[in-house]
Amino acid sequence: MKRIANYFMAASFAVMILASCGKDNTGAADDGDTTKINGHEYVDLGLSVKWATCNVGADSPEEYGDYFALGETEPKNEYTAENSVTYNKKQPDISGNPEYDAARANWGGTWRLPTESELRELVDGCDWEWTVRGGRNGYKVTGPNGNSIFFPASGYMDGTLLKDAEETGYYWTSSPNERETYAEMYTCRLLFYNDYVNVGWSDRYFGFSVRAVSE
């Protein structure tokens, strides 16, 4: 496997998202034993937090799941700046806040959105291998202990359209942009495509995927 470097972006691309994961599923992870928290499977990758095996709204690792605007807890029909709850507004870190955290609101227990530092640990501390699972493109992410999870290239929602599915993946964190420029518009997110993995910032109104973490 090859390790993908972490490239930091200070701003987002200008144009660039409730079922249980592992209700009765087995073998949801690529490697390593799975365990459940509040009915949802995770894999211990040897990092500071445990990562869920699938996206919020998905029943298997390769399913896209639901798409969420940042700070919203339900998917919707259209994703715009005008109908965003948090866009262009001062927003603290929302990790674990059930009013704004889609992972906590939908999965309960100790599940929550990852923070920027936890995402950077995942990117910097793991091997990322572009692959196909269940007919879906994405990354197999292998932790320092040899266990792994799969992130599908689920694309993102812009307006009423799902864009770039099977080509890119966009996943929210809970961490707002603390820089003065664009501070009320952007939140930290994961972006990837083949041979590229990035921790950067995107407009909060887009619909991105959510991959939950827990202590």
- For 161-205, the pLDDT digits (tens) are 999 999 999 999 999 998 777 889 999 999 999 999 999 999 999
**Strand, helix or coil at 163?**
strand
Q: What is the pLDDT of residue 178?
A: 82
30-34, 63-67, 195-199: segment of lowest average pLDDT: 30-34
Burial class, 40, CB count within 10 angstroms (exposed 0-12 / middle 13-18 / buried 19+): buried
Of 13-27, 31-45, 68-82, give the range with the top mean pLDDT: 68-82
pLDDT at 155 over 70: yes
88-103 average pLDDT score:
96
**pLDDT level of residue 138 (50, 70, 90 thresholds):** very high
Q: What is the pLDDT of residue 20?
A: 41
Query: What φ, ψ does residue 70 adopt, rounded to 5°?
Result: -60, 130
pLDDT at 91 over 80: yes
- Nearest one of 73, 72, 39 to 54, comparing CA atoms: 39
- Nearest one of 164, 158, 170 to 200, comparing CA atoms: 170
- Nearest one of 171, 162, 161 to 193, comparing CA atoms: 171
Q: What is the pLDDT of residue 182?
A: 80
| pTM score above 0.85 | yes
Query: What φ, ψ does residue 118 adopt, rounded to 5°?
Result: -70, -35
pLDDT at 34 over 90: no
Match 């202590």 to its residue by tokens: 215
**pLDDT level of residue 21 (50, 70, 90 thresholds):** low
Please give the mean pLDDT across all residues of the chain: 89
Burial 162-178 (b: 16+ CB within 10 A, else e): ebbbbebbbbbbbbbbe
CA distances (Å), 170 to each of 36, 127, 191, 203, in order?
25, 18, 5, 12
Task: Report CA torsion sign: 29, 208, 65, 55.
Answer: positive
9-29 average pLDDT score:
39
148-153 average pLDDT score:
99
Task: Report CA torsion sign: 77, 81, 82, 87.
Answer: positive
126-148 average pLDDT score:
98
Helix ranges (H only) for 7-158 are 102-107, 116-125
Which pair of tokens denotes residue 41?
């499977």
Query: What φ, ψ does residue 120 adopt, rounded to 5°?
Result: -65, -35
